[in-house]
Structure 1
Amino acid sequence: MARRGKGGGGGAGVGDAAWRRGSARPRLLLVSAVAWALLLLAFHLWSCASPSAYFLSALCRKDGEVVRALDPMGTPSKPLHRCSIPVADDPDAVVIPKRTPNAIVKNLSYITVDKRDKDSPPLFGGRQTWKQREESFKLNATMKVHCGFMKNSGADMDAVDVEYIQKCKFVVASGIFDGYDAPHQPSNISLRSQKLFCFLMVVDEVSFDFIEQNVTVKVDSAGGKWVGIWRLVTLHRPPFDEPRRNGKVPKILTHRLFPQAWYSIWIDGKMELMVDPLLILERYLWRGKYTFAVAVHKHHRSIYEEGDAIKRRKRYARPLVDLQMKIYYHEGMEPWDETKRMPSDIPEGAVLIREHTTITDLFSCLWFNEVNLFTPRDQLSFGYVAHRLGDALKFFMFPNCEYNSLFILHRHTREHSSKVEWAKTIDEILKKGLKESRGGLGLWTPYPADLSSVELPAVKRTSQAS
């Protein structure tokens, strides 16, 4: 066989010396791979055995899912946006504390009938006036506010489910609307948590039919419907035209849907929980004596940056997002900066961890009222409501990398799209009949101040995802 000269490529046909030098490379790479693997294994064993490495405890547990896989050459692959969660080691050893006393708002009740309901069908979120909205942010020992579930307005549960949830004091809740997702079974759930928690999957009729056609739904002797650990709770008569807005009912108003709950963990329907819920409550609420925990958004800190991203990604009508942002800016909501008390004005809202105190419930009501009045993009209104309540609610906004270690994210079964998301002008919405009839009506109700001179703050895009 003819050999190539010195200028030839490697591989077959090279000179004997060059071939011998080249043949050593796979052996060196193999040794390097083994060395990397042994080094990582030693570090892993040390972190699991050493008390001083408690903060790395999630590395030793499946629920953390943070150990990076090795690539074929034995080197760590590209890092995932995850980090270890310093959860307790044993759910059975967790001590459930006494409930947090109601200090500021001692009695909270809800408006269920509006005077104007006599002339028109009742709206689920009610017909809150601008004056009522403003009064709802003024904290008093006794308060009565709009909070969804207006009488005869929809979101009705079956009697068998109403009876079942009376016993649910610890809740893991999720929801699927318009058949976007299928239920994903949680993993690493201790026997104690299986007995302590109700796992409640809220669905509309469209989603229940989709689930029934694709997975096994078991019916118990009382008529309850189950998919694995999840109890399916069907909401009849959807309260809104927009499925995304319907999904905010169980997500934000968990305390109204399940009124006996002391604690709840909400996860979006596309997520598979990987961490025992009792360990989540201990880590994110009880350890720091918080009553509300949510993760910091991966990319954005300011509601104006988030609004800008929503418009460019066409997640809701641009002029309506602008109008909501103008109202907030007019009412004193400044862009986020490092001097603010919260690490971000934008949450990663797919996981909400709550103790249902009166102040937490009030926050949820006010948050929902903003979603009901304006756009269904709840991340825009979260920071505004937190801003209005000030220090009354003790938030824990935890790192986004921990949030990503709580669950596995699955794809939707299909992508949602509504025509209003693509509208560029108010006239287009009106002429094409894209205006929602039961939600977002605050955007069409004359605001009690002139917004024509309000200019939104300039947005500095801090991430490529923006």
Structure 2
Amino acid sequence: MSSSMFNNHSISISVSDEESDELGRMRVRVRRKRKKQYGHRVKNELSQLVLRFLLKYWMVFIFLPAAGLLVFEASRIGKEPSLDVELERDVKKTPDLKHNQTVGELKKKMEDNLDRLDPPRCLKLLPPEELQHLEIPMHDESNLVKNVVYISEKDAQHEEGNSTISKLSTEFTRFNLFTGYQTLDQRESSFKVSETAQIHCGFYSENGGFKISSEDKIYMQACKVVVSTCAFGGGDDLYQPIGMLHASLKRVCYVAFWDEITVAAQEFKGRRIGEDYFIGKWRIVVVRDLPFTDQRLNGKIPKMLGHRLFPHAKYSIWVDSKSQFRRDPLGVLEALLWRSNSVLAISQHGARSNVYEEATAVVKKHKATPEEVEVQLTQYRQDGLPEDKRFNGKKALNEASVIVREHTPLTNLFVCLWFNEVVRFTSRDQLSFPYVLWRLKLLKGINMFPVCIRKDLVNSMGHIRKAKPLIN
């Protein structure tokens, strides 16, 4: 009975197969979610534990490497010092040793090159058989300038009545009794080209200096073609020219201008002037009473005023004293002047082409003071010198270690103007060269040859003195 009652009051719940599967999946999902949350909580707790550990002991982690480094350095100091001392001594000796080795190697290489004539790369000379019979041309004089009259002390007194006026107006310049006292008005009028030009051009007075013996003057007056150089103040060694033909030796004068200091310095090195006034192929002309205290200005006299020193010469080639002339001079004249119908040939500047850029480089290299350069550039700007990098399509900034020219009234006027600009402003003739070209509009008769031709013409020796230690 009891069992029947129980059965009667029981409630039956039917469960389908689908519901049982759904409930199972729910249990699985819940179980998996709980496991995921538990793992994430463990990771968070671990990261927090590591962070608290680092915050607590961060000073230890900084101190330990520092202490290790200190111990390492202390162990090095405690070593026997002899090895380190010897190493330091070797390092100190190395610069001088390497410097001496470098200079010695360069000198040996230079001496080997003095007698070796490399074939030209850029300069196209005539074959030797043609150079042997080459005639020196005699061109007609320029129709633009027929005559140049050089102002002397007597002329200036006659014109001005009192030369003191001119001296007072130029007391802040480097003009003197050699150059004459050119005023700004005279400077301006000197650029006005006419058939007869009147200009200051050195040798202004007998008391101006640059004295040459009578024997040397007689020799120089007989020269028709000249290769010249100079060394004042005991400067550079004299390098013998090479590459000339025998026919050229008979027709070309090689003249080196020295002062008495250079004579003494070269005699000390064992290079004495012979009884015939020659050292090798060079005729040594000793100059006394140089007119400038600045040796750079004294060097401009034979460099620019060759027509004044050699009054009967038709052509001249100037070579810087740090260079060795290495070609036949008549062949050079034919290649750079006669072939192109030019009157002056000069090397282009290898790095810059603008006078204002060159002025910046001059100041940066301490070749002139900023004040001197600014005075010169201010004058050129006022005169209207353009800032174009080229004139008539040509690069007009020069590198004047080699100057090849015909002595005509026009080129004589040009170099006189150039010389006066160098005396008035800075000794850097690169700054005044483009200006004088521009004022005379002479560029059509100028051969601005590239640097590679200059390297064919001369072997520069100036790098020996500039050699520096490899280790400072």
Output the amino acid matched with 2:237.
A
What CA distance in whole angstroms lies between the structure 2 residues aligned with 1:267 and 1:353? 9
Q: What displacement does 1:393 show?
A: 6.2
Residue 367 of structure 1: how far off its partner (Å): 0.3
Question: Who is 1:390 aligned against?
Answer: 441
Amino acid of the structure 2 residue aligned with 1:110: Y
Deviation at 1:65, TM superposition (A): 4.5
1:241-292 Cα shifts (integer Å, max 9, x gaps): 1001110000011111111111000001110011110110000011011110
Question: How many residues are treated as equivalent by the alignment?
Answer: 335
Could you tell me which of 100, 123, 133 is aligned with 1:85?
123
Paired residues of 1:64 and 1:85 also in contact (CA < 8 A): no
Is structure 2 residue 372 aligned with structure 1 residue 320?
A: yes
1:399 Cα deviation (Å)? 1.2
CA contact (8 A) 1:180 1:413 kept: no
Partners in 1 of 2:443 and 2:430 — Cα distance? 20
Alpha-carbon distance in 2 for matches of 1:122, 1:305: 30
Q: Distance in 1 between matches of 2:434 and 2:135?
A: 32
Choose the corresponding residue for 2:266, options 211, 218, 223: 211
Identity of aligned residues (%): 36
Query: Secondary structure of 1:278's match?
Result: helix
In structure 2, the residue matched to 1:96 is 136
Distance 1:65 1:97, change over 3 A: same
By how many angstroms is 1:236 displaced? 0.8
Cα pair 1:193 1:276 within 8 Å, conserved? yes
CA distance in 2, matches of 1:376, 1:197: 30
Question: For 1:292-330, what per-residue CA distance to the aligned partner results, in whole angstroms no more than 9, with x for missing partners?
Answer: 011111011111111100100111111111111111111
Tell me if 1:145 matches 2:199: yes
Q: How far apart, CA to CA, are the structure 2 residues paired with 1:135 and 1:193? A: 41
CA distance in structure 1 between the partners assigned to 2:364 and 2:193 by the alignment: 37
Secondary structure at 2:138 match in 1: coil
> What TM-score do the two structures reach when normalised by structure 2?
0.68
Alignment of 1:53-452 (within 5 A): 63-65=117-119, 83-90=121-128, 91-113=131-153, 114-115=156-157, 117=163, 123-151=177-205, 152-220=207-275, 224-338=276-390, 340-341=391-392, 343-391=394-442, 394-411=445-462
CA distance in 2, matches of 1:391, 1:111: 23
* 1:283 partner SS: helix
SS of 2:235 mapped into structure 1: coil
For residue 261 of structure 2, give the secondary structure of its aligned residue in structure 1. helix
**What is the identity, as a one-letter code, of the residue corresponding to 1:236?**
R
After superposition, the C-alpha distances for 1:168-191 in whole angstroms (9 at most, x for unaligned) are 011001111112201100111111
Aligned partner of residue 285 in structure 2, secondary structure: strand
Amino acid in structure 2 at the alignment position of 1:96: I
Distance 1:242 1:311, change over 3 A: same
The structure number with the bigger radius of gyration is: 2
| Amino acid across the alignment from 1:84 | C
Q: Which residue of the partner structure matches residue 421 of structure 1?
A: none
Alpha-carbon distance, 1:147 to partner? 0.4
Q: For 2:123 and 2:282, how far apart are their aligned partners in 1?
A: 25
Query: Which 5+ residue runs of structure 2 have no aligned equivalent?
Result: 1-115, 168-174, 467-472
CA distance in 1, matches of 2:343, 2:247: 22
- Residues in 1 aligned to 2:352 and 2:388: alpha-carbon distance in whole angstroms: 10
SS in structure 2 at match of 1:246: helix
Q: Deviations over 1:49-68 (max 9, x none)?
A: xxxxxxxxxxxxx75545xx
Cα distance change of structure 1 residues 318 and 392 upon mapping to structure 2, 3 Å threshold: closer
DSSP-derived class of the 1:328 partner: helix
Identify unmatched segments of 5+ residues in structure 1.
1-61, 67-82, 416-466
User: 1:402 Cα deviation (Å)?
Assistant: 0.9
- CA distances 1:123-181 after superposition (whole Å, capped 9, x unpaired): 21111011100000001111111001111200110111011112101100111111220
Q: Which amino acid aligns with 1:154?
A: G
CA contact (8 A) 1:193 1:277 kept: yes
Higher helix residue share = 2
Alpha-carbon separation, structure 1, partners of 2:299 and 2:280: 22
Contact 2:220-2:309 at 8 Å conserved across structures = no
Structure 1 position 94, deviation (Å): 2.3
CA contact (8 A) 1:359 1:393 kept: no
Aligned residue type for 1:133: R
* Contact 1:188/1:276, CA 8 A, preserved across alignment: yes
Q: Give the match's secondary structure for 1:247.
A: helix
State the secondary structure of the residue aligned to 1:307.
helix
Do the aligned residues in 2 keep the contact of 1:171 with 1:197 (CA within 8 Å)?
A: yes
Q: Is the alpha carbon distance of 1:266 and 1:349 closer, same or farther for their aligned partners in structure 2, counting shifts above 3 Å?
A: same
Is 1:346–1:379's contact at 8 Å kept on the other side of the alignment?
yes
Q: Distance in 1 between matches of 2:363 and 2:389?
A: 22
Aligned-pair distance for 1:96?
2.3
Q: Which amino acid aligns with 1:251?
A: K
1: CA distance, partners of 2:200 / 2:278:
32
Contact 1:64 1:275 in 2 (8 A): no
Kindly state the Cα deviation for residue 412 of structure 1 after the two structures are TM-superposed.
7.5
Which amino acid in 1 is paired with 2:382?
Answer: H
**In structure 1, what is the Cα distance between the partners aligned to 2:393 and 2:418?**
17
- What amino acid maps onto 2:204 in structure 1? M
**Distance between the aligned counterparts of 2:117 and 2:387, measured in 1?**
36
The one-letter amino acid of 1:173's match is: S
By how many angstroms is 1:103 displaced? 1.4
Paired amino acid for 1:146:
H
- Contact kept? 2:190, 2:417, Cα under 8 Å: yes
